[in-house]
Structure 1
Amino acid sequence: MNAPLPFVPPGRTLTGGELQELAAAVAGAEGLWTDLLEHRTDGRGYAELFLDEHLGVWVLEWMADDHDTGYHDHDRSAGAVHVARGAIRHEHLRLGERPVGTRVPAGEGFCFDETFIHRMRREPEAGPTVTIHAYSPPLERTGQYGEAEDGLLHRVPTSSEEHLSPKGRQGTPSTFSDGDAEAEAEVGVEADERESGGPGS
């Protein structure tokens, strides 16, 4: 550790709102994570900042516009994300309609419970982006969602040690214009090609 933790280990499971406050505090303690950034473009960089039986805290780095988690859940964990630098696009899957997408810039964040399904990717042209992620209980498993070859939505159970990346087609991103079918198809192909392993969420 490069700096003292900006929180007292809770010794209990935290709510989403509590995790959001904690993630914001960690984002403000740059001495805790700045030296851990890898500045890699071949995938999201990441480092574990804290882990006990009730809480896991990570720093993630998004250096390229194609850094993308794909749609996923967090199994039994609630969580929160705070953007320390740059910006991410936060998307929610909707049945039969275009996903809802929100730009989340530095200084802002969000929280979620264990039922949440979402997707995060770097906001196009946002530049180097850093996010703080907090989970309670610590993240052990995720479920990743995508359209498989049979045309149906499937959930792929994964360990938290596996790097999240799109699993199958992800549909039309919220930043595409209406009717941009060619771009949507291209994203689906690229998503299939980008599947790889390694930690992160």
Structure 2
Amino acid sequence: MRNRLPFPPPGRVLDAGELRKVARAVAEDESLWSDLLQHSTDDRGYAEIFLDEHLGVWVLEWLADDHDTGYHDHDHSGGAVHVAHGAIRHEHLRLGHRPVGDRVPAGEGFCFDQTFIHRMRREPGGGRTVTIHAYSPPLVRTGQYGEQDDQLLHRVPTSSQEHLSPKGRQGTPSTAHPPRTADIPQEDRR
């Protein structure tokens, strides 16, 4: 694969702050990734931009409000996400409580370490959304989380090549404006 980075490959494992700079720099140069997008509303689209033994960079396209990663971790990889177009909802799992979530609009991003569990989905009504994801070391495995039929939270190990999607029930999503108490299921009112 040719180098689709706007700088020479770093040649080492990067920390979360450095990954945030990588994701932003790649997001700001659409010529590095615009030809990789497939523009499908069926599933969230994704393509590899760059991969070596220290760094993996991906572009994801979110065209429908139901495009959702579900709760997941990144196994041994730290990472960063930068929103190039549109907006995503970034949610953090909280046990015994509603998740907390933030709208992340174009031009903004976030980073995380190897211990992070989160969920991303297109912000409802956010329009065409494109995000750039940078991982170091490169993403090999993820763990996907969801409530199963036994009503317990389970981790499903998956290859990084598998399309992330909700595995089991994901609980009540966060919203930009909290719903009225009457709209929250009794078990989530904590």
Contact in 2 for aligned 1:3/1:32 (Cα 8 Å) = no
Aligned to 2:183: 180
Aligned to 1:191: none
How far 1:7 moved relative to its partner?
Answer: 2.1
Q: Deviations over 1:151-170 (max 9, x none)?
A: 00000000001000000000
* Structure 1 unmatched runs, 5+: 185-201
Aligned to 2:90: 90
Inter-partner Cα distance in structure 1 for 2:99 and 2:4:
39
Aligned to 1:68: 68
Aligned to 1:150: 150
Matched, 1:24 2:2: no
Inter-partner Cα distance in structure 2 for 1:2 and 1:35:
14
Contact in 2 for aligned 1:2/1:33 (Cα 8 Å) = no
Inter-partner Cα distance in structure 2 for 1:101 and 1:180:
18
How far 1:2 moved relative to its partner?
Answer: 9.2
Identical columns (%):
78
> Normalization by structure 2: what TM-score?
0.92
CA RMSD of aligned residues (A): 1.7
Contact in 1 for aligned 2:4/2:49 (Cα 8 Å) = no
Aligned to 2:134: 134
Inter-partner Cα distance in structure 1 for 2:5 and 2:51:
12
Which 4+ runs in 1 deviate beyond 6 A? Answer: none
Inter-partner Cα distance in structure 1 for 2:30 and 2:156:
34
Change (3 A) 1:17 1:158: same
Which range moves more in the overlay, 120-129 or 173-182?
A: 173-182
Contact in 2 for aligned 1:2/1:32 (Cα 8 Å) = no
* Structure 2 unmatched runs, 5+: none
> Normalization by structure 1: what TM-score?
0.87
Q: Which amino acid counterpart does residue 24 of structure 1 have in structure 2?
A: R
